[in-house]
Structure 1
């Protein structure tokens, strides 16, 4: 039991590191642009399948975007939730099915973020289609980026953000509030889903910045992941909110001033 317990943290680190390595290799390779907004139809093999099979384009693009998004979540968000996973593992260490329960917890957490990813990618795709049909919006697309950055800044100091952050910063209290162990497997999964929902409540605005600066940018993922991990897990994490909000609002204003001077 102790040997298995000692393996949890190294395995978790290995999982996170593997996600970062895959993303780095993808971003550095010839297909890096497909990690962002380029069409998967243009890939040599995938594109052929998309064009040959009715409906395959939508299904394959959705699947590949889902893979990319889950890799990002594994790299960026799983480390921020490690205290919850480790606390839960310690609380259930006497159970024979502890590994299954911990796995279900992680799967529930990832599921919440996967659902958010579907909504975010749908919103992003809708904006791109709208811009493609509107020459004015296409010419002033920077306004959307400035608005997203400003929204992220405002949300950093909102009461909803801080309520969700409080939930994420207290893993033991969160577990005792949401998990009774009666229907252990189901409750483990829903515990992960619930924590994922509060985690999204903390971070959704910052995650939207990925769409403003380009999803798949490993540098931005590292920066945002570090900020979110510090907010949730370090004692001084709550103090990040205000200076980050000021920085984001200044960035948004700079985008507006820069482009307004050109127009």
Structure 2
């Protein structure tokens, strides 16, 4: 198979994977089990808290399993497309090996593993906060403060040097591969390359991903918007100029949440 045809086929398969994840999320959101896709928004917790207390919950095992599946679908839909330049560069560099398909699959699996680990931490922290809120009338009434704090944190992080160092790593896929993959133990190195890139990707995007918990995870519209922003920041030339305006917008949004809720206190 000629290389250009392989490239088109790989891009098509990758696009189909991402599109399938988006379709699955949209179908889930429109179905009878949508409640397991969503987490309550901290900005609206005072209004929906009593209802959450009254609704019967699923078993911990079922809820955790469904939330895990939802998170992996979100990663496939939102984050895998942002890392396509790395995956495609690696595929082209390993085409001479008979096991290039396996190596590419291990690279993607390593990347997904890093994000899955971050998801466990983020969901665990969010679940602990919600459990605390359900047992505290004060925190339940003022849960919007947590939402405002998460939005403000995402805004401040847009100006951090750590974010920009991580972005520099993500914007140079060829250099990243040559630094982390030497081919002496190809399968292990491919998986670890994916994990390493995933860690730097988390370093770029973790604060923006936490916005999903501030406004309520599971909104397909929010996922599309955040996925587009993160893809632009990492892969487009003008992505370097949107960071600071986005940070200002997030800080303004946080202030608006405070003003809107403080007047009722």
Question: SS of the residue aligned with 2:237?
Answer: coil
What TM-score, normalized to structure 1?
0.92
Partner of 1:193: 195
Alpha-carbon distance between aligned partners in 2 of 1:42 and 1:17, rounded to the nearest angstrom = 33
Unaligned runs of 5+ in 2: 41-51
Contact kept in structure 1, 2:39 and 2:213, CA below 8 Å: no
Partner of 2:226: 224
Question: SS of the residue aligned with 1:204?
Answer: helix
1:55-113: per-residue Cα shift (whole Å, max 9, x none)? xx333322211110000000000000000000000000100000000000000000000
Partner of 1:108: 110
Question: SS of the residue aligned with 2:96?
Answer: coil
1:42-67: per-residue Cα shift (whole Å, max 9, x none)? 68xxx5xxxxxxxxx33332221111
Alpha-carbon distance between aligned partners in 1 of 2:56 and 2:254, rounded to the nearest angstrom = 33
Alpha-carbon distance between aligned partners in 1 of 2:158 and 2:39, rounded to the nearest angstrom = 27
Alpha-carbon distance between aligned partners in 1 of 2:82 and 2:241, rounded to the nearest angstrom = 17
Alpha-carbon distance between aligned partners in 1 of 2:79 and 2:56, rounded to the nearest angstrom = 30
- Structure 1 vs Structure 2 CA RMSD: 1.5
Partner of 2:46: none
Question: SS of the residue aligned with 2:242?
Answer: helix
Alpha-carbon distance between aligned partners in 2 of 1:172 and 1:262, rounded to the nearest angstrom = 53
Partner of 1:117: 119
Q: Return the match for 2:83 from 81, 91, 104.
A: 81
Partner of 2:48: none
Alpha-carbon distance between aligned partners in 2 of 1:88 and 1:157, rounded to the nearest angstrom = 31
Q: CA deviation at 1:262?
A: 1.2
Alpha-carbon distance between aligned partners in 2 of 1:179 and 1:42, rounded to the nearest angstrom = 49
Alignment of 1:36-55 (within 5 A): 36-37=38-39, 47=58
Contact kept in structure 1, 2:87 and 2:107, CA below 8 Å: yes
Question: SS of the residue aligned with 1:236?
Answer: helix
Contact kept in structure 1, 2:39 and 2:218, CA below 8 Å: no
Partner of 1:172: 174
Q: Return the match for 1:32 from 31, 34, 50.
A: 34
1:149-185: per-residue Cα shift (whole Å, max 9, x none)? 0000000110000000000000000000000011000
Q: CA deviation at 1:216?
A: 0.6
Alpha-carbon distance between aligned partners in 1 of 2:78 and 2:65, rounded to the nearest angstrom = 20
- Bigger relative contact order (CA 8 A; separation at least 6): 2
Question: SS of the residue aligned with 1:105?
Answer: helix
